[in-house]
Amino acid sequence: MSKRKCYTLTEADTVRVASQNLHEKKIGSMPVLDKNQNVVGIISERDLSQFIYAERFNSNLPISQIMTKELVTCDLNTSVTELMNEMTEKKIRHILIMEDKKLLGIVSIGDVVNHLIDKIKEENKSLKDYINSY
């Protein structure tokens, strides 16, 4: 997950730009960087929908005014179980992968589910192979 491209926005980008990027890239969130390339927030579909619902919609507003600033991060050693627990507890769908304040990537709830499905498929194949070996 840290090897695939991680699309980002700048804090000066507008709600329109964020919405367009999320739509075109078919992703649910994007980290937001300041002018020094430091991660200062994350913008998600949920942030956008809450913004629209609150009837404050202005597509030219900078995303820095609506982004989530309390970052939830993990590192490359974080287990899938830890990710699941964190996502469930905080009711979030994306966690930034960081190392020494450097953005390495992003993990989504879909990534976690796909990992679990692959693990179950492997276990299922191993059990079938074991049963068929007798």
Strand order in the sheet with 94-99: 73-74, 94-99, 102-108
| C-beta of residue 9 within 8 angstroms of C-beta of residue 18 | yes
The yes-or-no verdict on residue 2 having pLDDT over 60 is no
Q: Which domain holds residue 57?
A: 9-132
- Whether residue 1 is contained in a domain is answered as no
pTM for the model stands at 0.84
β-pair partners for 74: 97
- Whether residue 4 is contained in a domain is answered as no
Q: What is the arithmetic mean of pLDDT over 6-31?
A: 96
CATH number for the domain spanning 94: value is 3.10.580.10
Percent of the chain with pLDDT over 90: 78
- Whether residue 43 is contained in a domain is answered as yes
The yes-or-no verdict on residue 44 having pLDDT over 80 is yes
The yes-or-no verdict on residue 1 having pLDDT over 60 is no
Least confident among 1-5, 55-59, 80-84, 112-116: 1-5
CB atoms within 10 A of CB 33: 17
- Whether residue 73 is contained in a domain is answered as yes
- Whether residue 67 is contained in a domain is answered as yes
| C-beta of residue 120 within 8 angstroms of C-beta of residue 126 | no
**What is the residue-averaged pLDDT of the chain?**
92
The pLDDT of residue 5 is 86
Q: What is the arithmetic mean of pLDDT over 66-76?
A: 95
The pLDDT of residue 3 is 63
Count of domains forming the chain: 1
- Whether residue 18 is contained in a domain is answered as yes
- Whether residue 119 is contained in a domain is answered as yes
Q: What is the DSSP letter of 134?
A: -
The yes-or-no verdict on residue 93 having pLDDT over 90 is yes
Q: Which helix (H) or strand (E) holds 29?
A: strand 29-33
| C-beta of residue 42 within 8 angstroms of C-beta of residue 18 | no
- Whether residue 3 is contained in a domain is answered as no
